[in-house]
Structure 1
Amino acid sequence: MPDVDGLREVVGVLREWQHEGAPMQLHPGDLGWFWRFGADATAAAVRTWSRDGRLLAIGLLDGATLLRMTTAPDAMRDEELARQVVADLNQPSLGALVAVEAPQGALVKDLLAEDGWKPGELRAPLSRDLTAPVREPGLRIETIGPEQAQVRVAMQRASFDRSTFTDERWHAMAGGAYSDARCLVGYDDQGSAVAAVTVWSAGPGRPGLLEPMGVHREHRGRGHGRAITLAAAAALRELGSSSATVCTASDNFAAVATYISAGFDPLPENPDFCRNA
């Protein structure tokens, strides 16, 4: 794992690995959103693999049981790297690890299957091209700064039943890999905050990420999810992103339908690989 000072280097490398046409993969925004737990916790959750001083693979322990990882674009089928990653994933120090999320086509997945790991939860990646302007969302949209952090926090907690987001965690996130990110809140005609999203750019000409998006539980079923998703796509386009991407569980049918209604195209589903109990 990197030290805290090495985190920004990891994020920078991960930005360089994002490119159009690549399968959905770990994004710098994933690390940026995790940063809400603080720099030390984020550093402790990151795993890296290098050769000759060059980073070749990066993983994020998303909780105790799931590792989300990707590799350098030219190392997806690197056998030496893949075998080292799989060997490390079977170490006792990662004994609680039971699932790995890796990009479609990564050799790591083939070797995990050979080692007895089985396909698990299906992920549904979606993408929207940002070449053309995005239509107006139909909500009043505000970009949230430090002085409005409590609004974004309240929306997160109103959208996700088990959310642990706090003002302190918003400020921790904003102090991390947040320079090319935006928090947006949508307001309806009555002035009520009804939906929120955070978007993460990986730099001009690269895919951006929505993570997370939510609609207030008391304002669902009125098209606000579609509206805030359109606002997110527009914000990423303003930041220079080539596309907007998002990934959710395949069985989250309402979320998938919302993204499709906002112009996102489904990409091939991608399963986690799970260790036998």
Structure 2
Amino acid sequence: MLDEAVRALREWQHDDTPFQLHPGDLGWYRRVGAKAADEAVRTWRGDGRIVAVGLLDGADLLRLTVAPDARADGELALRLANDICAPDRGVLPSGTVYVESPRGTRFQELMFERGWQSDVPWTPLRRDLAAPVPDPGVWIDVIGHDHADVHAAVIRASFEKSTFTEERWHAMAVGSPYADARSLVALDRGVAVAAITVWSAGTGRPGLIEPMGVHRDHRGKGFGTAITLAGAAALRELGSSSAVVCTPSSNAGAVATYRAAGFTALPEVFDQRRD
């Protein structure tokens, strides 16, 4: 299921469309293992093809997008809304739940009409990769299976509730999406201080940053900007047209880091919430 959804999502990535679910999101989720990742993916079909993809990112959040040519499709929007709003359909449970819905679609409009509300804002950011990316100014290592523990340790030290481990890095890296991904770490005098994974969706398409983190003991020294530049450069080498990322608007430090790395903020996006 995951691999088929990834193939569809790759085709849907364009620089002129709003920020949406990316094949790299599914690739990052693959860290929980093949079976769990497959079970978290939802697809909807029409005319013999996938027309919508959802990722159940935890028990109460569905990250959803639709094919570009189906964004205004009222019949598909109704199918999606009926499936997602009914707990017995097995997509989302009863109670307070969230949907990351694609902005400007008939589906999003229909969910608002059904009483769903906007949740907290997120800021998508994009950096064009037509021109070479500046040197990050620090030593960068490309991480393979033999140094997965280094990358995982930095990510764990970057996020308070992170459960990322060396084993989860390996589970992520053996998934099909990782064939077009890179994991990097920034080193300061031999010490790993920041880490990033970037995901290509193919030549001429936007690539995704997921995740990027700076070790809690090494913040405030520009390492976030440095590793982000390194990640953008890696995406350019992979043929990506741009680098994209989305972070909570409340995380002013992250927004500032991406801006310092040459990213431009796009219009805010909101999950939809049903209380």
TM-score calculated relative to the size of structure 2: 0.96
User: What residue is the counterpart of 1:209 in the other structure?
Assistant: 208
Aligned-pair distance for 1:123?
1.1
Match of 2:236 in 1: 237
SS of equivalent residue, structure 1 residue 123: strand
What is aligned with 1:3? none
Query: Within 5 A, what are the aligned runs for 1:145-184?
Result: 145-176=144-175, 177-184=177-184
The percent identity for this pair of structures is 61
**SS of match in other structure, 1:99:** strand
1:91-128 residue CA offsets vs partner (Å, 9 max, x unmatched): 21322561111222111110000000001111100000
Alpha-carbon deviations, 1:240-277, whole Å to 9, x = none? 000000001111110001000100000000111100x2
Q: CA deviation at 1:70?
A: 0.6
Alpha-carbon shift at residue 90 of structure 1 (Å): 1.1
Alignment partner, residue 30 of structure 2: 35
Question: 1:26-105 counterparts in 2 under 5 A?
Answer: 26-92=21-87, 93=90, 94-96=92-94, 98-105=97-104
Structure 2 CA distance for aligned equivalents of residues 106 and 30 of structure 1: 20
Distance, in Å, in 2 between the alignment partners of 1:155 and 1:126 is 23
Query: 2 CA distance for matches of 1:51 and 1:113?
Result: 24
In the alignment of these two chains, the number of paired residues is 270
Which residue identity is paired with 2:208? L
- Please identify runs of 4+ aligned residues in structure 1 that moved more than 3 A: none
Give the counterpart letter for 2:271 in structure 1.
D
Write out aligned runs for 1:220-259 (5 A). Answer: 220-259=219-258
User: Are the counterparts in 1 of residues 2 and 26 from structure 2 also a CA contact under 8 Å?
Assistant: no
- Specify the SS of the correspondent of 1:178: helix
Which residue of structure 1 lines up, in the alignment, with residue 264 of structure 2? 265
Match of 1:19 among 7, 14, 28: 14
- State the Cα distance separating 1:60 from its structure 2 match: 0.4
What is the CA distance between 1:7 and its match in structure 2? 2.0
Measured in 1, the distance between the counterparts of 2:39 and 2:163 equals: 19
SS in 2 for 1:179: helix
Equivalents in 2 of 1:91, 1:211: separation in Å? 31
Gaps of 5+ in 1: 1-5
Separation of aligned partners in 1, 2:261 and 2:35: 36
